[in-house]
Amino acid sequence: MCGRFTIKTDEEGLKKRFQVDFGFTTYHPVFNAAPGMNLPVFMAGTHKSVQLYKWGLIPSWTKDANIGFKTINARAETLLEKPSFRNLIARKRCAIPADQYYEWKKEGKVKIPYAIGLKNRNPFVMAGLYDSWKNPEGTVINSFTIITTQSNELTASVHERMPVILNEQEFSFWMEPEVRPSDIMELLHPYPSEEMHLFRVSTLINNVANQQAEVAEPLAETK
Protein backbone atom coordinates (compact mmCIF):
# COMPACT_ATOMS: atom_id res chain seq x y z
CA MET A 1 0.00 0.00 0.00
CA CYS A 2 0.97 3.65 0.15
CA GLY A 3 -0.20 5.45 3.26
CA ARG A 4 2.30 8.29 3.60
CA PHE A 5 4.61 10.24 1.29
CA THR A 6 6.65 13.42 0.96
CA ILE A 7 6.42 16.13 -1.67
CA LYS A 8 9.25 18.43 -0.64
CA THR A 9 10.00 19.81 -4.11
CA ASP A 10 8.77 23.39 -4.16
CA GLU A 11 6.45 24.98 -6.70
CA GLU A 12 9.24 26.12 -9.01
CA GLY A 13 10.82 22.67 -8.91
CA LEU A 14 7.56 20.96 -9.86
CA LYS A 15 6.98 23.46 -12.68
CA LYS A 16 10.43 22.75 -14.10
CA ARG A 17 10.28 18.98 -13.69
CA PHE A 18 6.75 18.35 -14.97
CA GLN A 19 5.97 21.48 -17.03
CA VAL A 20 2.86 22.35 -15.02
CA ASP A 21 1.12 25.52 -13.89
CA PHE A 22 -0.52 25.87 -10.50
CA GLY A 23 -4.24 26.61 -10.29
CA PHE A 24 -3.87 27.87 -6.72
CA THR A 25 -1.48 30.01 -4.70
CA THR A 26 -1.29 28.21 -1.35
CA TYR A 27 1.08 25.34 -2.15
CA HIS A 28 3.87 24.54 0.28
CA PRO A 29 6.07 21.42 0.39
CA VAL A 30 4.64 18.66 2.58
CA PHE A 31 7.08 16.40 4.44
CA ASN A 32 4.52 14.01 5.89
CA ALA A 33 1.56 13.73 3.51
CA ALA A 34 -1.25 11.63 5.00
CA PRO A 35 -4.81 10.56 4.10
CA GLY A 36 -7.35 13.33 4.60
CA MET A 37 -4.95 16.08 3.55
CA ASN A 38 -5.46 18.31 0.53
CA LEU A 39 -2.49 17.65 -1.75
CA PRO A 40 -1.34 18.66 -5.26
CA VAL A 41 -2.46 16.42 -8.15
CA PHE A 42 -2.06 16.65 -11.93
CA MET A 43 -5.32 16.08 -13.78
CA ALA A 44 -5.45 13.95 -16.94
CA GLY A 45 -6.42 16.03 -19.94
CA THR A 46 -5.39 19.25 -18.17
CA HIS A 47 -1.95 18.27 -16.89
CA LYS A 48 -0.58 21.77 -17.36
CA SER A 49 -2.67 22.63 -14.30
CA VAL A 50 -2.23 21.43 -10.72
CA GLN A 51 -5.13 21.21 -8.27
CA LEU A 52 -5.44 20.50 -4.55
CA TYR A 53 -7.52 17.36 -3.89
CA LYS A 54 -8.22 15.42 -0.72
CA TRP A 55 -6.38 12.11 -0.29
CA GLY A 56 -8.96 9.34 0.15
CA LEU A 57 -11.36 8.88 -2.73
CA ILE A 58 -15.04 9.63 -2.07
CA PRO A 59 -17.11 8.15 -4.95
CA SER A 60 -19.71 10.46 -6.43
CA TRP A 61 -22.49 7.96 -5.62
CA THR A 62 -21.73 7.31 -1.95
CA LYS A 63 -23.77 8.60 0.98
CA ASP A 64 -20.90 8.30 3.47
CA ALA A 65 -17.86 10.53 3.08
CA ASN A 66 -15.95 8.37 5.58
CA ILE A 67 -15.45 5.80 2.84
CA GLY A 68 -12.49 7.95 1.83
CA PHE A 69 -10.41 6.54 4.66
CA LYS A 70 -10.84 3.07 3.13
CA THR A 71 -10.00 4.15 -0.41
CA ILE A 72 -6.63 5.86 -0.07
CA ASN A 73 -5.27 3.13 -2.37
CA ALA A 74 -6.69 1.19 -5.31
CA ARG A 75 -5.22 -2.19 -6.26
CA ALA A 76 -4.26 -2.29 -9.95
CA GLU A 77 -5.31 -5.93 -10.23
CA THR A 78 -8.94 -5.22 -9.30
CA LEU A 79 -9.52 -1.70 -10.65
CA LEU A 80 -12.05 -2.86 -13.22
CA GLU A 81 -13.98 -4.86 -10.62
CA LYS A 82 -14.44 -2.42 -7.74
CA PRO A 83 -17.49 -0.10 -7.89
CA SER A 84 -15.45 2.77 -6.43
CA PHE A 85 -12.88 2.69 -9.24
CA ARG A 86 -14.04 0.86 -12.37
CA ASN A 87 -15.86 3.86 -13.88
CA LEU A 88 -12.97 6.26 -13.24
CA ILE A 89 -10.12 4.67 -15.20
CA ALA A 90 -11.38 5.92 -18.56
CA ARG A 91 -12.12 9.55 -17.70
CA LYS A 92 -10.89 10.46 -14.21
CA ARG A 93 -7.19 9.74 -14.02
CA CYS A 94 -4.65 11.86 -12.20
CA ALA A 95 -0.99 11.76 -11.18
CA ILE A 96 0.33 12.61 -7.73
CA PRO A 97 3.82 14.14 -7.40
CA ALA A 98 6.12 12.87 -4.66
CA ASP A 99 9.79 12.75 -3.70
CA GLN A 100 9.52 9.56 -1.66
CA TYR A 101 6.93 7.37 -0.04
CA TYR A 102 7.00 5.45 3.23
CA GLU A 103 6.43 1.89 4.36
CA TRP A 104 6.90 0.16 7.69
CA LYS A 105 8.76 -3.13 8.17
CA LYS A 106 8.03 -5.20 11.24
CA GLU A 107 11.20 -6.24 13.03
CA GLY A 108 10.29 -8.21 16.12
CA LYS A 109 7.65 -6.18 17.93
CA VAL A 110 8.73 -2.90 16.36
CA LYS A 111 7.69 -1.32 13.03
CA ILE A 112 10.62 0.43 11.36
CA PRO A 113 9.77 3.22 8.86
CA TYR A 114 11.55 3.35 5.51
CA ALA A 115 11.52 6.01 2.80
CA ILE A 116 11.54 4.82 -0.81
CA GLY A 117 12.35 6.95 -3.84
CA LEU A 118 14.38 7.25 -7.02
CA LYS A 119 18.16 6.83 -6.94
CA ASN A 120 18.63 10.12 -8.78
CA ARG A 121 16.57 11.87 -6.05
CA ASN A 122 14.25 13.40 -8.65
CA PRO A 123 10.56 13.86 -7.84
CA PHE A 124 8.26 11.33 -9.51
CA VAL A 125 4.55 10.83 -10.12
CA MET A 126 2.25 8.10 -8.85
CA ALA A 127 -0.77 6.98 -10.88
CA GLY A 128 -4.12 7.87 -9.34
CA LEU A 129 -7.85 8.24 -9.88
CA TYR A 130 -10.14 11.04 -8.72
CA ASP A 131 -13.82 11.77 -8.25
CA SER A 132 -16.09 14.58 -7.04
CA TRP A 133 -18.72 14.16 -4.32
CA LYS A 134 -21.37 16.60 -3.16
CA ASN A 135 -22.36 16.58 0.51
CA PRO A 136 -25.94 17.21 1.70
CA GLU A 137 -25.18 20.92 2.08
CA GLY A 138 -24.17 21.13 -1.58
CA THR A 139 -20.41 21.46 -1.06
CA VAL A 140 -18.30 19.59 -3.61
CA ILE A 141 -15.32 17.61 -2.32
CA ASN A 142 -12.72 16.55 -4.86
CA SER A 143 -10.65 13.55 -3.81
CA PHE A 144 -8.16 11.01 -5.12
CA THR A 145 -6.70 7.55 -4.59
CA ILE A 146 -3.21 6.19 -5.36
CA ILE A 147 -3.03 3.04 -7.47
CA THR A 148 -0.79 0.27 -6.10
CA THR A 149 0.77 -2.83 -7.59
CA GLN A 150 3.02 -5.67 -6.46
CA SER A 151 6.38 -4.59 -5.09
CA ASN A 152 9.57 -4.91 -7.08
CA GLU A 153 12.54 -6.88 -5.77
CA LEU A 154 13.93 -3.97 -3.77
CA THR A 155 10.75 -2.72 -2.13
CA ALA A 156 9.48 -6.24 -1.38
CA SER A 157 12.04 -6.33 1.41
CA VAL A 158 9.86 -3.80 3.22
CA HIS A 159 6.30 -4.30 1.92
CA GLU A 160 4.45 -6.47 -0.59
CA ARG A 161 2.78 -3.50 -2.32
CA MET A 162 4.06 -0.27 -3.85
CA PRO A 163 2.48 2.71 -5.64
CA VAL A 164 2.45 2.66 -9.43
CA ILE A 165 5.26 5.07 -10.36
CA LEU A 166 5.15 6.37 -13.93
CA ASN A 167 8.23 7.14 -15.99
CA GLU A 168 8.18 10.19 -18.28
CA GLN A 169 6.74 8.36 -21.30
CA GLU A 170 4.11 6.58 -19.21
CA PHE A 171 3.18 9.84 -17.50
CA SER A 172 2.52 11.53 -20.85
CA PHE A 173 0.33 8.64 -21.97
CA TRP A 174 -1.49 8.46 -18.63
CA MET A 175 -2.44 12.12 -18.92
CA GLU A 176 -3.95 11.81 -22.40
CA PRO A 177 -7.73 12.36 -22.17
CA GLU A 178 -8.74 9.81 -24.82
CA VAL A 179 -7.16 6.40 -24.31
CA ARG A 180 -8.56 2.90 -23.99
CA PRO A 181 -8.71 1.45 -20.45
CA SER A 182 -7.06 -1.73 -21.75
CA ASP A 183 -4.02 0.29 -22.86
CA ILE A 184 -3.93 2.18 -19.57
CA MET A 185 -3.91 -1.04 -17.55
CA GLU A 186 -0.61 -2.03 -19.16
CA LEU A 187 1.09 0.86 -17.35
CA LEU A 188 0.23 -0.45 -13.90
CA HIS A 189 3.37 -2.44 -13.17
CA PRO A 190 6.20 -2.22 -10.58
CA TYR A 191 8.88 0.41 -11.15
CA PRO A 192 12.36 -1.04 -11.88
CA SER A 193 14.30 -1.92 -8.74
CA GLU A 194 17.61 -0.74 -10.17
CA GLU A 195 16.30 2.82 -10.43
CA MET A 196 15.16 3.04 -6.79
CA HIS A 197 16.65 3.19 -3.32
CA LEU A 198 15.37 2.96 0.24
CA PHE A 199 16.58 4.04 3.64
CA ARG A 200 15.46 4.16 7.25
CA VAL A 201 13.91 7.32 8.60
CA SER A 202 12.99 8.57 12.05
CA THR A 203 9.85 7.32 13.79
CA LEU A 204 8.83 10.98 13.76
CA ILE A 205 7.10 10.04 10.50
CA ASN A 206 4.61 7.97 12.52
CA ASN A 207 2.84 11.10 13.75
CA VAL A 208 1.18 13.19 11.04
CA ALA A 209 1.56 16.26 13.27
CA ASN A 210 5.30 16.10 12.56
CA GLN A 211 5.73 18.13 9.38
CA GLN A 212 9.32 19.29 9.75
CA ALA A 213 11.94 18.45 7.12
CA GLU A 214 13.69 16.13 9.58
CA VAL A 215 11.05 13.41 9.14
CA ALA A 216 12.14 12.89 5.51
CA GLU A 217 15.87 12.67 6.19
CA PRO A 218 17.71 9.31 6.13
CA LEU A 219 19.00 7.78 9.34
CA ALA A 220 21.23 5.50 7.29
CA GLU A 221 21.47 4.68 3.61
CA THR A 222 20.17 1.14 3.11
CA LYS A 223 19.99 0.21 -0.57
pLDDT for res 220:
64
Residue 194 falls in the annotated catalytic set: no
Q: Is the CB of residue 218 less than 8 Å from the CB of residue 199?
A: yes
- Coil, strand or helix at 124: strand
The per-residue pLDDT string of the chain (223 residues; one tens digit each, 9 = 90 and over) reads: 789 999 999 888 888 899 887 777 677 899 999 999 999 999 888 667 789 999 999 999 998 888 888 999 999 999 988 888 888 998 899 999 999 999 999 888 889 999 999 999 999 999 999 999 998 888 999 999 999 999 999 999 999 999 999 999 999 999 988 888 888 889 999 999 999 999 999 999 999 999 999 999 888 665 5
Identify the active-site residue in 2, 11, 81, 168: 2
Sign of the Cα torsion 10, 201, 69, 44 reads positive
pLDDT at site 15: 87
Beta strands in 108-208 (DSSP E): 110-118, 124-134, 140-150, 161-163, 165-166, 196-201
- CATH 3.90.1680.10 given to domain 5-101+121-195: yes
Q: How many other CB atoms sit within 10 Å of the CB of residue 135?
A: 11
94 is catalytic: no
What is the model's pTM?
Answer: 0.94
Residue of 94, 103, 153, 194 with catalytic role: 103
pLDDT of residue 210: 95
Q: Where are the domains of the chain?
A: 5-101+121-195
